[in-house]
């Protein structure tokens, strides 16, 4: 890089400008920009292999980019890596705590590596274990922990040095919904400690629940950056789907659904024969639909509430970029804008929450 590197924006805790990284034939990052203001959560959303982990590895000083610059707390992640390492905590995709060591021993080790006195390292370990509700397991080898406990310890290990910036690379991949919720609570509490968080996820739902702003990346490129609400307007929110038992009731059901969803537009469409669907704004509307359909004497074969899947999010987002500029997406059959496309209204597989294999394995092992 002979050109002068761009200066850091002092108002940003995390900043990436035009990151590029190639591994052999794969262009993992193809000009990625990221920004997070201090004290916020930036969600980096993308499918497996989108380049999320590579971006995190660059920003956490583990990987040198081919091009572009990254700043954490205003410091260059390549030329000032040691200073950056003093201010960050990293929780990778795969638990990086030691199975043979106890929870306490793991955390004390990281404290010592961060130049805490042994006594201070022990005190910090104790605090963190209590905070993550692991105090009862403090003196057990990590090998005996469940998958969720291990993730919590892993996160605790990245917080030993009270980092100003925390990188969480898919912190809930492979966790069951209850454990995922618990992890979300922990991530939110990091903000109360004053940290800035960069969180990568494959789950739209997770980005929605946690992030102040979301950057969507795919094939190493940023394809959208917005607030979760802004993204949802593109992607579409939950949809209520009703299939009356008697097709003769379709008109009456359409009327009921239009009235029910009037507050969010009352857009009732029929994506297939005998089925009606409409965007809704939460589970309350599902309960209300049950009541209204029952009191109207309409029997149903199907009554469901679905979120658009991540695939659909990408379909919608790529559809939008097709309007705004060049894109390699040529599959759209020239139809209307994505949010009017029937494919968005009839999700094929529900929310994209299938755990990846690795996560399922570690959970399985922990349960055994």
141 vs 351 by CB, closer to other proteins: 141
Minimum distance from residue 266 beta carbon to other proteins (Å): 50
Tell me which residues in 52-81 interact with other proteins (CB under 8 A). 57, 60-62, 64, 78-79, 81
Beta pairing, strands 275-279 & 300-306:
unpaired
| Options 95, 107, 211, 317; binder of other proteins; rule CB under 8 A | 95
Helix (H, G, I), strand (E, B) or coil at 278: strand
Separation of alpha carbons 158 and 363, rounded Å: 21
Identify the residue among 4, 82, 119, 248 touching other proteins (CB under 8 A).
82
| Contact flag: residue 152 with other proteins (CB under 8 A) | no
Give the Cα separation of 101 and 97 in Å (integer).
8
Per rule CB under 8 A, is residue 104 in the interface with other proteins? no
The structure tokens listed for 167 are: 């990188």
Token readout for 220 is 């190493």
Task: Determine if 356 is a binding residue for other proteins (CB under 8 A).
Answer: no
Contact (CB, 8 A) for 91 and 168: yes
Minimum distance from residue 90 beta carbon to other proteins (Å): 4
Q: Is residue 23 involved in binding other proteins (CB under 8 A)?
A: no
Instruction: Quickly tell me which residue has 């040529």 as its tokens.
Output: 330
Two tokens, residue 75:
């410091």
Give the shortest CB-89-to-other proteins separation in angstroms: 8
Stretch in the footprint of other proteins (CB under 8 A) among 23-31, 101-109, 238-246, 330-338? 101-109
Decide: is 255 part of the binding site for other proteins (CB under 8 A). Answer: no
Instruction: Please tell me the distance from the alpha carbon of residue 320 to that of residue 327, in angstroms, as a whole number.
Output: 10
Q: Give me the least distance between CB of 91 and other proteins, in Å please.
A: 8
Q: Does 286 bind other proteins (CB under 8 A)?
A: no
Binding mask 131-150 for other proteins (x = CB under 8 A): ----------x---------
346 binds other proteins (CB under 8 A): no
Size of the site for other proteins (CB under 8 A): 34
* Helix axes 228-235 and 310-324, enclosed angle (nearest 10): 90
Q: Rounded to whole angstroms, how far apart are CA atoms 48 and 309? A: 14
Are 239 and 345 in contact, with CB atoms under 8 Å apart? yes
Contact assessment for residue 33 and residue 17, using Cβ atoms and an 8 Å cutoff: yes
Beta bridge partners, 239, equal 279, 306
- For the bound state, the minimum distance from the C-beta of residue 32 to other proteins, rounded and expressed in Å, comes to 19
Contact status: 85 vs other proteins (CB under 8 A): yes
Does position 120 interact with other proteins (CB under 8 A)? The reply is no
Q: How many helices (H) and strands (E) does the chain have?
A: 13, 14
Binding residues for other proteins, per CB under 8 A? Answer: 57, 60-62, 64, 78-79, 81-82, 85-86, 88-90, 92-98, 100-101, 105, 109-110, 112-115, 141, 157-158, 161
């Amino acid at each position: 890089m002979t050109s002068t590197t761009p200066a850091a924006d002092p108002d940003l805790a995390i900043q990436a400008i035009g990151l590029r990284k190639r591994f052999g034939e794969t262009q993992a990052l193809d000009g990625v920009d990221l920004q997070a203001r201090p004290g916020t959560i930036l969600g980096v959303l993308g499918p497996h292999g989108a380049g999320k982990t590579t971006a995190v590895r660059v920003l956490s000083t583990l990987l040198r980019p081919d091009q572009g610059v990254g700043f954490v707390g205003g410091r260059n992640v390549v030329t000032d890596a040691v200073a950056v390492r003093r201010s960050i905590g990293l929780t990778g995709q795969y638990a990086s705590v030691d199975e043979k060591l106890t929870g306490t021993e793991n955390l004390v080790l990281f404290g010592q590596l961060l130049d805490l006195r042994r006594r201070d390292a022990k005190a910090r370990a104790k605090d963190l274990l209590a905070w993550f509700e692991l105090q009862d397991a403090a003196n057990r080898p990590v090998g005996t922990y469940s998958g969720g406990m291990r993730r919590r310890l892993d996160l605790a290990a990245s917080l030993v040095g009270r980092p100003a910036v925390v990188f969480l690379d898919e912190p809930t991949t492979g966790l069951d919904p209850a454990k995922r919720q618990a992890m979300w609570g922990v991530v939110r509490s990091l903000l109360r400690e004053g940290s800035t968080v960069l969180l990568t996820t494959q789950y739209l739902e997770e980005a929605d629940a946690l992030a102040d702003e979301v950057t969507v990346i795919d094939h190493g490129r940023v394809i959208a950056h917005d607030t979760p609400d802004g993204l949802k307007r593109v992607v579409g929110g939950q949809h209520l789907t009703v299939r009356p038992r008697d097709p003769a009731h379709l008109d009456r059901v359409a009327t009921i659904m239009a009235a029910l969803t009037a507050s969010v537009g009352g857009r009732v469409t029929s994506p297939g024969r005998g089925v009606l669907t409409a965007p809704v704004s939460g589970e309350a509307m599902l309960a209300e639909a049950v009541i209204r359909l029952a009191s109207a004497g309409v029997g149903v074969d199907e009554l469901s509430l679905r979120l658009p899947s991540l695939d659909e999010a990408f379909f919608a987002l790529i559809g939008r970029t097709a309007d705004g500029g060049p894109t390699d997406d040529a599959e759209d059959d020239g139809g209307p804008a994505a949010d009017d496309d029937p494919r968005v209204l009839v999700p094929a597989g529900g929310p994209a929450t299938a755990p990846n294999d690795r996560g399922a394995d570690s959970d399985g092992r922990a349960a055994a």
